[in-house]
């Protein structure tokens, strides 16, 4: 039951890998593999796509690795492997990213990635630090996670979904900010589970046993 964390030189891979490895060891979920090998991705039971930085740069970095995105798309979209995107890895699920320029996303969950525009001038951008989740819909990835539980964020843009039913959780930062989305076997978190202590470890454990 291998979980592949995609390595395309755009993500906090060390921290993410350690958190997933810790939870996998505690739960018997199987090996965690950090890889950029399309063949390894094709054999993985679950796929995690992290991402840090600008939307267009992350997308270009992923597509620049020969066959890597095609392997991810085939495994997730065609074969139904559970997928978790983290931060910009989640944002790339959108139809469009609006950061600096209009950049097409994967269009796996309809919507756009727009700049945060808090109504309260005291709310700084980037949105950085701990924030309390507001759960919008029940989901297996949120088992044991409740409104008021805290998660860690570092971002200036967020996912605005076309379909409100795909929104699982939000936070308030001078207005509603998307914290988590899901559709079918695909999910994403704007927050960093690997930095979110109890909340993050619980979400990782939920993902490692998720069978959509």
Active site residues: 87, 192, 194
Contact assessment for residue 207 and residue 49, using Cβ atoms and an 8 Å cutoff: no
**Vertex 186: Cα angle to 3 and 148 (nearest 5):** 95
Whose structure tokens read 């046993």?
209
User: Which positions ≥6 away from 133 have C-beta within 8 Å?
Assistant: 145, 146, 147, 148, 149, 150, 151, 169, 170, 171, 179, 180, 199
Token pair of 59 as six digits: 């997308």
Q: Among residues 142, 149, 145, 184, which one has the least CA distance to residue 163?
A: 184
Q: What is the dihedral of CA 175, 172, 177, 73, to 10 degrees?
A: -170
Strands (E), 76-208: 83-86, 96-97, 103-104, 111-115, 127-132, 134-135, 150-155, 157-161, 167-172, 176-183, 186-189
């Amino acid at each position: 039951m291998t979980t592949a964390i995609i390595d395309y030189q755009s993500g906090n891979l060390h921290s993410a890998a350690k958190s997933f490895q810790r939870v996998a060891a505690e739960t018997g979920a199987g090996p965690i593999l950090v890889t950029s090998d399309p063949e390894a991705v094709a054999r993985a039971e679950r796929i995690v796509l992290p991402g840090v930085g600008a939307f267009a740069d992350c997308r270009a970095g992923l597509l620049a690795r020969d066959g890597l995105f095609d392997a991810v798309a085939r495994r997730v979209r065609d074969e139904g492997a559970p997928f978790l995107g983290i931060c910009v890895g989640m944002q790339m699920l959108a139809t469009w990213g609006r950061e600096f320029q209009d950049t097409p996303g994967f269009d796996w969950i309809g919507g756009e990635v727009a700049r945060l525009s808090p109504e309260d001038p005291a709310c700084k951008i980037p949105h950085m630090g701990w924030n309390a989740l507001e759960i919008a819909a029940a989901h297996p990835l949120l088992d044991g996670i409740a409104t008021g539980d805290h998660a860690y964020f570092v971002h200036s843009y967020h996912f605005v979904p076309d379909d409100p039913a795909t929104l699982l959780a939000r936070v308030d930062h001078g207005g509603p900010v998307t914290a988590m989305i899901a559709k079918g076997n695909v999910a994403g978190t704007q927050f960093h589970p690997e930095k979110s202590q109890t909340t993050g470890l619980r979400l990782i454990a939920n993902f490692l046993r998720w069978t959509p």
